[in-house]
Chain A
Amino acid sequence: MTNHLGDIQNSKAIIIFGANPAVNHPVGFKHILKAKERNNAVLIVVDPRYTKTAAKADLYVRIRPGTDIPFMYGMLHLIFKYGWEDEEYIKNRVFRMDYIKKEAKKWTPEKVADVTGVPTDVLIQVTRAYASNKPGTLLWAMGLTQHSIGSSNTRMAPILQLALGNMGKFGGGCNILRGHDNVQGATDMCCLSHSLPGYYGLSEGSWKYFAHNWGVDFKWLQNRFATPKMMHTKGFTLSKWWQGVLQEEKIYQPTPIKALWVQGNGITSVAQTAKVQQALDKLDLLVVAEPFANEAAVITNKTDNVYILPTTTQFEDEGSVTATNRTAQWRSKVIDPLYESKTDEEIMFTFAKKFGFYDEFVRGMMMGVRNGKAVKVKDTFKWPEDATREIARIIKTIGLTGWTPERLKKHQENWHMFDEVTLKGIGPMKGEYYGLPWPCWTEYHSGSPVLYNIGIPVMEGGMGFRARFGTEYEGENLLAGPFATIKGAKVKGGYPELTKENIEKVLGIKIPAREKAIMGKNWKVDLSGLIAKYALQAGVAPYGNAKARAYVWTFPDKIPMHREPLHTPRYDLAKIYPTYPDKKDQYRVDTKFISIQKKDWAKDFPIILTTGRLVMYSGAGLIERNSKYLAALEPEMFADINPALAYKYGIRDGDMIWIHSPEGAKIKVKARFTYSVSPDRIFLPFHFAGIMEGKNMSKNYPEGLIPYAIGESGNTVANYGYDIVTQIPETKAGLVRIEKA
């Protein structure tokens, strides 16, 4: 989220693409309803399904899955045609919007109607409503991301916001609703195969920075890897790790995957559950550390070398958690670990000892900064506070320096002293925003509730766009224009990110030699904190002030382009808007694109499949299906089907049906009649597991641990298809065929 939930109450227009907060984030949705009530905000919902969120909308757009880019280009077509864009904003703060304008010109309402299925008058009505009510905020969730063009979708939405001048404004921004409680925090910590914590990447420089901060020798760390090269090679992902075992597609590492270690992950929430099952069966070792009987250990037919380790919930532990709006909240421990459960960190510490790297593992918690260098400063550590300090010391990229355990605890103790709409503190909390939303540049910084807002001083959370990609490209200036000066900044307009070399020149100051001597090379690795200090004194953010890039030269598509889903119901359009060529070595495995799309799947699989959540459940549903109350309210897996479609197959409400995927997987579920889906598509929730392709696996649960609700996993029939950049599965736009069971 660039803004925060309370800030949505400042919005005059709210447009939601592929998110259903009324069900998935009900308390977050309250802020949207308040915007409607108090601000008379217009609510627009763009979704393939008439969701509970859509039920509250002023304007609902039933879009064909996978066509968000044409729809947004259609909006931009009208915006540019009628001059509704914010010209001054674009000139000063956006790089190459003219490329977008050119592409948008092609997307006439008629053409958009053909591709998206949205009538021209609806597009015009929506665009007019959204463009003429400012500020407007744009929300999305997995409905926008889980596509083979998911990464382009997530670029398109900010571009729409940039065109209207809605980014970096109260009541504006792109507000992405994350799924789990700490997706934001775990993402920031880069529990991800392509980066070190804080989005530092996997370059040698980054590893060296972390080695230094962990108090370990870089060579030692390098020797832990198979080869030095593997240290810098992105690993397998949650989406396709199973190919590392099965090797049906070529893999790029010296060994297949033999051991899977699952610690807090309902792995049935990715597409191709049948493949996941096959991979689990072939493993040498499966370790599952969870509070509940994770279905990874259940859907497998593996008979040996499967372990389940009892792990606590977060209520039996302490630490910080980052909400969807980048605020950190401190969780106090409610009770001691139950039964024989161990906390997640205890499990890691125990095995680190066995694996022989415990001392290196925990040393970072006993370190501090002296003269700009990380050194060991004490002999013991206290969990989790010293881990929080370690993170604050190291992670500069997103500005976590200010997140000390003391401040976070103080915010929790005084959470009643913060305003809902502004997050501003009162009384002793004055001058700080609740949860110190990152970037929180220093231990005395306020936190930043609205990203990229140049209308407020940096010390109150203001900043420009990050100058991350140099100062010019093909002779064009990438830095912000003269009218994009951050309020109160001593530097006018744009400026580059600060380094030891340029800081004096950019800020027009002289820094004593003894300070220069201990200063890090640039703001991202400056442990001395001096760059941040001088930046704040000058009223500028350390990371520069640049233009946002509508045109990205490093991406497969320089500007977002429409490409049909791999399994498209419009084979005719796949010829005009084809997907990418197949991708070699994407996160260590080949991934197919065009070789799937070149076949007309819709002939045999004529029904569109889309998936989502139910209000009683979240994720793979493991937690809620083990609650008898929630499970009792939603006990059974089903498929939402329009009666008109059901009629064609002789299916009645409540009948059991088989759903078949192009990959040859099938599930048997109950048909639920609803008009929320149109007759060309069905909807599946993805929270269930425990039944695989009609086979009840309940005998595989440990005794007494069968959840109160089990069912077919919707993802068993979610199609093959992955994003070109992130490898997110295309679960939101697939094809299936159905028959009465």
Chain B
Amino acid sequence: MSSLKELEKVKVGRRSFLKMAALSTALGATGLNAAPAVREATCDELKDPYPGSKKVKTICTTCSVGCGIIAEVYNGVWVRQEVAQDHPISHGSHCCKGIDSIDTVRTAKRVKHPLKKVNGKWQRISWDQAVNEISEKMLELRKKHGPDAAMFLGSAKMGTEQAYYFRKFAAMWGTNNIDHQARI
């Protein structure tokens, strides 16, 4: 159920229309083309509102306990979050933060594109512009003041591979001015 064509084939019932409305960002205009006629939900749909969805095992990103999360993904959209009943540490438990993990992608408050502050006002810029301007400025500072003019603050929110690479990043930039939350 990954392509739009396949989706169009689905007869739209009341539930799936609502679902589609929710998915409208992913679907674009296609979702709106489908007629909002109400029909009886099929047996499969009664059992499972997201037929063919994928259940992805992952780990909570809040604290260090490491609770399991089952993320239900339907057509590339994280639609529901389940506790992992069989996870050896969390055994189906979640705290208020963990159970809300889905909100880290569902919230409207995500930074959506690169931003630059110009004369006190935020402006939308492209990645290319951001990368070019930042690297130019960084290299200029490095040339003028040396690599220790930069301070890198990395993260306990990174994965282990990323954290390792962030350390390497600072090393190859040429400084030990690198730190993260474990200091505190």
Contact = CB atoms under 8 A, between A and B. Distances in A.
Contacts of A461: none
Interface stretch (A301-309, A366-374, A665-673): A301-309
Contact of A624 (B97, B113, B139): B97
Contacts of A297: 117
Contacts of A324: 63-66
B86 interface: yes
Contacts of B156: 178-183, 185-187, 191, 264
A711 B18 CA distance: 36
A655 interface: no
A608 to B, nearest CB: 20
B161 A181 contact: no
Contacts of B67: 27
A412 B164 CA distance: 21
A264 B155 contact: yes
Nearest to A306: B117
Contact of B173 (A236, A287, A332, A355): A355
Contact of B167 (A25, A197, A729): A197
B97 A321 contact: no
A323 B146 CA distance: 37
Given A335-B73, A335-B78, A293 B109 contact: yes
Q: How large is the interface on A (under 10, 10 to 19, 20 to 34, 35 or more residues)?
A: 35 or more
A420 B122 CA distance: 49
A329 B158 CA distance: 13
Contact of B86 (A146, A336, A415, A731): A415
B57 to A, nearest CB: 6
Interface of B is mostly: mixed
B178 interface: yes
A314 B159 contact: yes
Contacts of A351: 131, 134-135, 138, 169
B77 to A, nearest CB: 7
A507 interface: no
A189 B148 contact: no
Best-buried of B71, B109, B184 by chain A (most CB within 10 Å): B184
Contacts of B163: 182, 185-186, 189, 191
B96 interface: yes
B95 A26 contact: yes
Contacts of B78: 315, 334-335
Given A142-B184, A321-B59, A415-B84, A309 B114 contact: yes
A205 interface: no
Contacts of A617: 97
Interface string B86-102: 11111101111110110
B45 interface: no
B78 to A, nearest CB: 5
Contact of B148 (A181, A230, A630): A230
Contacts of B110: 291-292, 310, 338-339, 341, 626
B56 interface: yes
A262 B153 contact: yes
B59 to A, nearest CB: 5
